[in-house]
Structure 1
Amino acid sequence: MYNPPAFREDRPEALRAMIEAARLALLVSNGCEGGAPEASHLPLVLAPEEGPNGTLYGHLARANPHWRGLAAAGRALAVLAGPETYVSPSLYPAKADHGKVVPTWNYVVVHASGPVEVFDAPERLRRVVEMLTRRHEAGRAEPWAVSDAPEEFVRAQLRGIVGVALRIETLEGKRKLSQNRSEPDRAGVLAGLSASADPRDRAVAEAMREA
């Protein structure tokens, strides 16, 4: 990932927070026998205690051939994206000063790569499904749990999926949030995005405040 120093995020606690805030990940691996790269969109959950940088867990449908590609490749890249939005040149005070401004995009993203394992042991698959469920049901007034479903139904569903575990060896974080602009321009972007009716713009504004 192209990651200039102004945008680079290396702090372990910040990287972990960025991973945990991400929702749908993109899991990418080399194709089988030199074929095109393969990619799947799936939620991933971090087990921070497993390995120096943690391990990401998720699952794919057994009918999805990507799990075979992952097993053959042995390595994968997970792209975990945070808030993102378009930034108009009209938000920069510099536009009125000299007009030498262009559009850009602000975003937050983490790339995690390392060896990947594919597994289908029922007890391990159930643990992954329970981890994902607890994470995404948290905060609901009446959170659903795997145990709420009939046990026979759960066992049947587990037979239809394959688990993946990506042990993170390399972790790259990027916060491209107008750090390369002047203070007046950054303030203009923050004000414009904060006032937007689009929640995606406001999410980026909040990320700028945090950064």
Structure 2
Amino acid sequence: MHIPPAFRDDDTDRVRDTIRATRLAQIITATADGPLATPLPLLFDETEGEHGTLYGHFSRANPQAHTPPIGDALALFMGPDAYVSPGWYPTKRETEKVVPTWNYIAVQAFGPLEVFDDPARLLALVTRLTDRHEGGRPTPWSVADAPPDFIQAQLRGIVGLRLPIRRLEGKRKLSQNRNAADRAGVAAGLAASPLDSDRAVAPLIPL
């Protein structure tokens, strides 16, 4: 990922917050057959390894689960994002030398991709993933709610993945390269947008 200095995020806690908040990530691998990618919910175990370890599972029918990767895998986590209109910049009225852009938060995690199909490990993984996403619901569903033989049959259809993170890169492109007046214009424009996704980015613009 190209990260100009103004947009580099070296705040480890903030980078980890993005990983934790991302409900669906992308796992990308380079292979002899070309690049492969799968959108997956991932579990972030921050206690395992220097940068943490990611866990998830592929469908057993997914070729990415069985195609040896070349080098490290990449897990991509996208935070809030929004289109930025040049009409929000006071600079437009002064010089007209402005263009549209996109603001966003992104984190990339790199590491060796491992797969496993041990039933006990898979059951522990899907239980943790389920508890994470069911937590906070009025009547949360639990893996234990389903018949054990049914769950075991479902586990035979998946392959677990483990990705110990060797390297993390964080990027926050939030108009930091614009002057204070332009940043204020972007924040106001996003805050007034009818889109929830735009309004989520508005308070992130540094003023």
TM-score computed with the length of structure 2 as normaliser: 0.96
CA contact (8 A) 2:69 2:113 kept: no
CA distance in structure 1 between the partners assigned to 2:100 and 2:69 by the alignment: 41
Counterpart residue identity of residue 113, structure 1: F
> Shift in Å at residue 98 of structure 1?
1.1
Q: Which residue of 2 aligns with 1:65?
A: 63
SS in 2 for 1:6: helix
> Shift in Å at residue 72 of structure 1?
4.6
Residue 102 of structure 2 is aligned with which of 97, 102, 105?
A: 105
Q: In the alignment, is residue 189 of structure 1 matched against residue 189 of structure 2?
A: no
RMSD: 1.4
Q: In the alignment, is residue 175 of structure 1 matched against residue 172 of structure 2?
A: yes
CA contact (8 A) 1:61 1:160 kept: yes
> Shift in Å at residue 148 of structure 1?
1.2
Q: Which residue of 1 aligns with 2:157?
A: 160
SS in 2 for 1:144: coil
SS in 2 for 1:185: helix
CA contact (8 A) 2:53 2:163 kept: yes
Equivalent residues in 2 for 1:16-35, closer than 5 Å: 16-31=16-31, 34-35=32-33
CA distance in structure 2 between the partners assigned to 1:177 and 1:72 by the alignment: 33
CA contact (8 A) 1:117 1:165 kept: yes
CA distance in structure 2 between the partners assigned to 1:166 and 1:100 by the alignment: 45
SS in 1 for 2:193: coil
Task: Work out the percentage of aligned pairs sharing the same amino acid.
Answer: 55
CA distance in structure 2 between the partners assigned to 1:72 and 1:111 by the alignment: 17
Residue 50 of structure 1 is aligned with which of 48, 51, 61?
A: 48
**Higher mean C-alpha displacement, 132-141 vs 52-61:** 132-141
CA contact (8 A) 1:29 1:75 kept: yes
> Shift in Å at residue 138 of structure 1?
2.1
- Please list the CA deviations of residues 102-157 of structure 1 after superposition, one character each: whole Å capped at 9, or x if unmatched: 00000001000011110001111112112211221122111111111111111111
> Shift in Å at residue 208 of structure 1?
2.8
Q: In the alignment, is residue 86 of structure 1 matched against residue 80 of structure 2?
A: no
Count of aligned pairs: 207
Q: Which residue of 1 aligns with 2:34?
A: 36
CA contact (8 A) 2:30 2:71 kept: no
Counterpart residue identity of residue 28, structure 2: V
Give runs of ≥4 in structure 1 deviating > 6 Å. none
- Please list the CA deviations of residues 39-75 of structure 1 after superposition, one character each: whole Å capped at 9, or x if unmatched: 1111111000010000011101001111112x45463
Q: Which residue of 2 aligns with 1:121?
A: 118
CA distance in structure 2 between the partners assigned to 1:183 and 1:167 by the alignment: 40
